[in-house]
Amino acid sequence: MKFNTYFYAYTGKVGYYTPEFKNCFLLSLALRYSILILLLLACAGPVHAAGPERVIVGNFSSGVIDGWGKKIFSGETSYSLVHLGIDTVLKADSHDSASGLVKKITVDLLEYPYLNWRWRIENHLQHKADEKLKSGDDYPARVYVIDSGGLFFWTTKVLSYVWSDNSAKGDSWPNPYVKNNVKMFAVRSTGDNISTWYNEKQNVYEDFKRLFNKDVRYIDAVAIMTDSDNSDDHATAYFGDIFFSAD
């Protein structure tokens, strides 16, 4: 996200901001940097287990997108339910933009440690910088899992599962903006085919423990995003159903 553009859009001045603007600006960066992400989530009630075997997060195949809130940061990534083959899926289309969808959901990771989802991308970002740098913080697809710090937002911990453009599959690294709060994990990379569906299954409980050295029992939200604003590029991705499972 381009700070100067966003800052100027609010104040009309460079180097000046009111306390009210400062609070608004920090909150608007929540999804990208994943610290104050629960600004969006406060509008929705918590969702709990849908059954004995799984917790449904995104039921896109049923043509349902209820409970997901949109947050726009720099331009607007388009999210829409579409038919792809015989399936109904969520399409994300980013043109030099950064916006995402967030769903507040409480999940007990001791009961449902595994996050399951399907995704595919149609292209890689061609003009992207190193992902370890702020200028490279763009991904054709990412899925966040958030352990909220509530009012103590600085204690928020976030796992960001990404489809990487220049890191090896299985690599992990701290987010360049909030190194202590957000850990990136490359689930897919350039070695994986585009226009191909992949089914993912991550042990979120173990990932929190391994990457943060923290036992997290309850998570508070899940988010998805396709963004290309830093690279001035275009990215298209599709997301299938998302759910937590016991095994």
Q: Are 89 and 61 in contact (CB under 8 A)?
A: yes
The total of other beta-carbon atoms located within 10 Å of residue 15's CB is 6
Straight-line distance from the first to the last Cα atom of the chain, in angstroms, rounded to the nearest whole number: 37
Backbone φ and ψ for 127, nearest 5 degrees, come out as -120, 40
Report the candidate in 160, 159, 161, 168 with the shortest Cα–Cα distance to residue 189.
168
Tell whether pTM > 0.85: no
Look at residue 51 in the predicted model and tell me its pLDDT.
52
Look at residue 7 in the predicted model and tell me its pLDDT.
36
Q: Are 188 and 164 in contact (CB under 8 A)?
A: yes
Q: What is the mean pLDDT of each successive set of 10 residues along the chain, which is 247 residues long?
A: 40 43 44 43 44 88 94 90 96 95 97 98 90 94 95 91 96 95 97 97 98 97 95 95 97
Report the candidate in 197, 46, 34 with the shortest Cα–Cα distance to residue 100.
34
Which pair of structure tokens corresponds to residue 124?
């890689």
